[in-house]
Amino acid sequence: MQKQMSIKVSIFEDNKARRESLSMLILSDSALELSGAFADCSHVVDDVARNNPHVVLMDIQMPKVDGIEGVKLIRQKFPEIKILMQTVFEDDDKVFDSLRNGASGYILKKASPEKIIEAIKDVYDGGAPMTPSIASKVLRFFNEIHEPQSPDDFNLSVREKEILSLLVDGLSYKMIADKCSISIFTVNAHVRKIYEKLQVHSATEAVAKAAKHKIL
């Protein structure tokens, strides 16, 4: 039986103790592989190119080059990489700025080790962990910058619209599975179909398109 590929994770965190703690957490999960840990984004393009991660765990506030600039640089050079922001406050406008610039989601620093692991796996699978307050800012932003569009549901089924709505609310795949009484595998299948119909590649893009075309 072929061994499942590990999710390679790179960490950008200026606090040494937390950086080491996160490193140990990544190493403790057999589905994850530590692919570098760095104190800031001064050499982020080279660091990412050398380590080739699937997911970047990015602190927002760092000296020299911070996480928001780091997101921009990674997104320009490596659009396929998922970026999960770490923050202290869930209503921090910097979180929204990070998402607007290409981050895939965020997690609070006070989250339990289990929640951090779950968020990494969720974002790798195409999810976008974020609380409703941040999801609302994303929707509001895209409503403001885009010309009003005629309603278009892209032939989404009732179930697909339900799952898209829960993604907009910031629920993880596991939470969606629990709420809809279906398996995570089924959630993943629905999300992939939603992405295909909307012609997007991430939950953040799906949220943006849902706002632009008034799908929900």
196 vs 140 pLDDT, higher one = 196
Query: Which domains occur in the chain, in start order?
Result: 7-124 (3.40.50.2300), 136-212 (1.10.10.10)
**Amino acid 133: pLDDT:** 67
As a whole number, the mean pLDDT across the chain is 85
Where on the phi/psi map is residue 149: left (φ > 0), alpha (ψ -120 to 50), or beta?
A: beta
Range with the largest mean pLDDT of 7-21, 91-105, 130-144: 7-21
Q: Which of 84, 166, 178 is nearest to 125 (CA)?
A: 84
The stretch 38-53 carries a mean pLDDT of: 95
Q: Which of 155, 138, 145, 144 is nearest to 203 (CA)?
A: 138
Q: How far apart are CA 202 and CA 196, in angstroms?
A: 11
Residue type, 153: D
Q: How far apart are CA 11 and CA 83, in angstroms?
A: 10
